[in-house]
């Protein structure tokens, strides 16, 4: 007890998701998660602040990835293209864990508090991307609009991907949804 | 007591907003709101479920107005134009109560729970507009993207309006922000 457990974080995350799907998020305790993972509660709290955090720790990584991608886009890239390229590169990350992403989404959809949390994470993602665009010299309100458009496309593409197991990979859906948004805003 | 009070709803709403600004939302009780309005708590609860509801009862009216406007747009209108026209017509409603809108926004911004609630209301607005577009025959995902774009433009335009007292009327900012979104998504 108290020693470093290899892969403890991954095992805890997997155990939590299993229990949230089986018993529901609200009914699951940290003690049960730790037991299912074969670890102690102390180990759980070394990795996660609480049982909700297990579902959202990936959101911070996602935001960081997107912010870095937008910040590192070529100077010549139009704001919307910098945002689109960033989201397309994120699709690959999700693809690797499609099964996990879909189970996580089902747990969140079933719980009002978790849905709220997801909306907050998306709003903070949009704000972070707008800030990053402004640092690139994109004026207001174009920076906010490009960031909001990116998050809107991501939401829509993710839903399409989650709702239909026959859908192609998420990156492709994100690319298609950006093209669709361009057509929609052009009044087609 | 218990009899119908003319304008009770408006007086309660005004009293609540005053108190939220003066003392903070969390510190204000329903009893204090009723007292400030010169009414009873019983009257308060005939009009509002709780003190949070005072801030969000307008959101349902807003959604209904937008849904009706999109549903009633000419058949020939492109989805984005139906959505844009609906939001522009809403700007007029806010203009009439600019002072109240800005105070309400300040109260919401200062409280995490209220910010969450606002995000939920906007998400449900987007979903309702997407449903309305689908009833008009707009396919998926264009319906969702046009709805999300509309809400994004509204958020950005509202912030511009709220942040700068010198800004023109909200309808004009909404129209400008739609044009800006078109330019942004076109890669300009």
Range A178-183 average pLDDT: 94
* Residue B164: per-residue pLDDT: 77
* Residue B161: per-residue pLDDT: 86
- Residues of B with CB below 8 A from A182's CB? 185-186
Asked whether the predicted pLDDT for residue B3 surpasses 70, the reply is no
Asked whether the predicted pLDDT for residue A7 surpasses 80, the reply is yes
Tokens of A60: 């911070």
Q: What is the mean pLDDT of chain B?
A: 90
- Residues of B with CB below 8 A from A131's CB? none
C-alpha torsion sign, points A64, B146, B188, B89:
negative
**Digit-coded pLDDT (tens) for A47-81:** 999 999 999 988 888 999 999 999 999 999 999 99
* Residue B187: per-residue pLDDT: 87
* Residue A3: per-residue pLDDT: 57
* Residue A102: per-residue pLDDT: 86
Q: Which residues in chain B belong to E strands, given as ranges?
A: none
Burial class of B98 by CB neighbour count within 10 A (0 to 12, 13 to 18, 19+): middle
CB contact under 8 A, B152 and A153: no
In angstroms, the separation between the Cα of residue A61 and the nearest Cα of chain B is 22
More confident residue, A101 or A5: A101
In angstroms, the separation between the Cα of residue A75 and the nearest Cα of chain B is 14
CB contact under 8 A, A184 and B160: no
Asked whether the predicted pLDDT for residue A2 surpasses 70, the reply is no
* Residue B34: per-residue pLDDT: 97
Tokens of A150: 């990116």
Non-local CB neighbours of A37 within 8 Å, separated by 6+ positions: A8, A11, A12, A14, A15, A44
CB contact under 8 A, A81 and B187: yes
Average the pLDDT over each of A53-62, A145-154, A156-165, B49-58 and give the range with the smallest value.
A156-165
Tokens of A110: 């079933």
Which of B120, B185, B186 comes nearest A116 by C-beta?
Answer: B120
Percent of chain B with pLDDT over 90: 73
- Residues of B with CB below 8 A from A177's CB? 141, 145
Average the pLDDT over each of A112-116, A123-127, B48-52 and give the range with the smallest value.
A112-116
Asked whether the predicted pLDDT for residue B160 surpasses 70, the reply is yes
Asked whether the predicted pLDDT for residue A146 surpasses 70, the reply is yes
CB contact under 8 A, A79 and B142: no
Alpha-carbon distance B23 to B28, whole Å? Answer: 7
Burial class of B26 by CB neighbour count within 10 A (0 to 12, 13 to 18, 19+): exposed
* Residue A6: per-residue pLDDT: 65
* Residue A95: per-residue pLDDT: 66
Range A108-127 average pLDDT: 92
The complex's ipTM works out to 0.83
A and B: number of Cβ contacts within 8 A: 92
Tokens of A152: 């809107």
Asked whether the predicted pLDDT for residue B1 surpasses 80, the reply is no
From chain A, which residues contact B within 8 Å (Cβ)? 78-81, 115-116, 119-120, 123, 140-142, 144-146, 148-149, 152-153, 155-157, 159-160, 177, 180-188
Residue B110: pLDDT band with limits 50, 70, 90: very high
Residue A90: pLDDT band with limits 50, 70, 90: confident
**Digit-coded pLDDT (tens) for B42-88:** 999 999 999 999 999 888 889 999 999 999 999 999 999 999 999 99
Range B135-156 average pLDDT: 94
Non-local CB neighbours of B168 within 8 Å, separated by 6+ positions: none
Q: What is the mean pLDDT of chain A?
A: 91
CB contact under 8 A, B145 and A153: yes
Which of A141, A157, A186 comes nearest B186 by C-beta?
Answer: A186
Tokens of A28: 């699951």
Contact (CB, 8 A) for B120 and B59 = no
Non-local CB neighbours of A38 within 8 Å, separated by 6+ positions: A11
* Residue B95: per-residue pLDDT: 66
CB contact under 8 A, B145 and A155: no
* Residue B5: per-residue pLDDT: 65
CB contact under 8 A, B141 and A160: yes
In angstroms, the separation between the Cα of residue A36 and the nearest Cα of chain B is 33
CB atoms within 10 A of CB A27: 10
Residue B183: pLDDT band with limits 50, 70, 90: very high
Asked whether the predicted pLDDT for residue A160 surpasses 90, the reply is no
């Amino acid at each position: 007890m108290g020693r470093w457990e290899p892969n403890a974080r991954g095992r805890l995350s997997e155990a939590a998701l299993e229990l949230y799907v089986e018993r529901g998020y609200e009914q699951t305790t940290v003690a049960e998660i730790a037991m299912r993972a074969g670890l102690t509660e102390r180990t759980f709290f070394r990795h996660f602040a609480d049982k909700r955090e297990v579902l959202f720790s990936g959101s911070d990584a996602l935001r960081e990835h997107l912010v870095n991608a937008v910040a590192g886009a070529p100077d010549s890239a139009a704001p919307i293209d910098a945002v689109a390229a960033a989201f397309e590169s994120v699709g690959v990350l999700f693809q690797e864990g499609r099964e996990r992403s879909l189970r996580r989404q089902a747990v969140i959809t079933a719980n009002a508090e978790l849905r709220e949390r997801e909306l907050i994470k998306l709003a903070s993602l949009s704000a972070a991307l707008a800030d990053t665009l402004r640092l690139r010299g994109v004026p207001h309100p174009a920076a906010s609009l490009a960031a909001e458009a990116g998050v809107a496309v991501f939401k829509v593409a993710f839903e399409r991907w989650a709702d239909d197991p026959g859908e192609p990979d998420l990156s492709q859906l994100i690319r298609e949804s950006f093209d669709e948004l361009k057509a929609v805003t052009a009044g087609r």
